[in-house]
């Protein structure tokens, strides 16, 4: 039994339960939000090899926590919006996500000074930022001119991302399968 006194354990348990419940029909999208989501939460996640879309909105995740995204080798869409503890230093962890196609970093401290960490991603096509000035030049200099940099305001959706279902558990946890 998971204690409500430890919300981290509750979230972790729910992700594991949902991941196991979808055997043969792997989850391809995971959305967690709120300050309850920390580096420790990401560290405790099981390997989720089929997740293609991850939303970590308004979390307490730091730059170091992004290292745990290596558990998501098929990740294509990443939304880190409104996670104010994230800086350019966290972008270095995204360099390993070679299949990443879209990233949303509005409402973070990430800016064009960290764009070089994303410029080598071969499949990257869209980056949503708070201030788009100077980003496209970084990608063009790196030979990755197909990347579109979009200045998103508030909750602008990511391209080709379906609307998430209603939360399935406390803390904003959502699991979507195909």
Best-predicted range by mean pLDDT among 2-11, 22-31, 135-144?
A: 135-144
What is the rounded CA–CA span in Å between residue 25 and residue 168? 17
* 107-164 pLDDT tens trace: 999 998 999 999 999 999 999 998 888 888 888 888 888 899 998 654 444 444 444 4
Does some domain include residue 167? no
Task: Specify the pLDDT at position 13.
Answer: 62
Does some domain include residue 69? yes
Tell me which long-range contacts 148-153 makes (C-beta under 8 A, separation of at least 24): 150/126, 152/81, 152/104, 152/106, 152/128, 153/106
Does some domain include residue 2? no
Q: Say how many domains are in the chain.
A: 1
Task: Specify the pLDDT at position 61.
Answer: 96
Which CATH number do you get for residue 104?
3.80.10.10
Does some domain include residue 1? no
**What predicted TM-score, i.e. pTM, was given to this entire model?**
0.75
Domain extent, residue 45, equals 7-156
Eight-state DSSP code of residue 130: S
Eight-state DSSP code of residue 36: T
Eight-state DSSP code of residue 58: S
Task: Specify the pLDDT at position 53.
Answer: 92
Does some domain include residue 141? yes
What is the rounded CA–CA span in Å between residue 120 and residue 51? 22
Does some domain include residue 176? no
pLDDT higher than threshold 70 for residue 6: no
Does some domain include residue 162? no
Task: Specify the pLDDT at position 178.
Answer: 45
What is the rounded CA–CA span in Å between residue 147 and residue 115? 11
Does some domain include residue 113? yes
């Amino acid at each position: 039994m998971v204690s409500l006194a430890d919300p981290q354990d509750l979230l972790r348990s729910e992700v594991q339960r949902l991941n196991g419940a979808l055997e043969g029909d792997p989850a391809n999208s995971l959305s967690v939000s709120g300050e309850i989501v920390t580096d420790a939460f990401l560290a405790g996640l099981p390997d989720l090899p089929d997740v293609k879309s991850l939303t970590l909105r308004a979390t307490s995740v730091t730059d170091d926590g992004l290292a745990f995204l290596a558990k998501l080798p098929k990740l294509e869409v990443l939304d880190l919006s409104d996670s104010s503890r994230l800086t350019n230093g966290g972008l270095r962890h995204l360099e390993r996500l070679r299949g990443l196609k879209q990233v949303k970093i509005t409402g973070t401290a990430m800016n064009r000074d960290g764009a070089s960490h994303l410029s080598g991603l071969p499949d990257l096509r869209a980056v949503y930022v708070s201030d788009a000035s100077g980003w496209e030049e970084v990608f063009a200099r790196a030979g990755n001119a197909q990347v579109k940099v979009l200045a998103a305001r508030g909750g602008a959706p990511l391209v080709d991302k379906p609307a998430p279902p209603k939360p399935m558990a406390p803390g904003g946890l959502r699991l979507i399968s195909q």
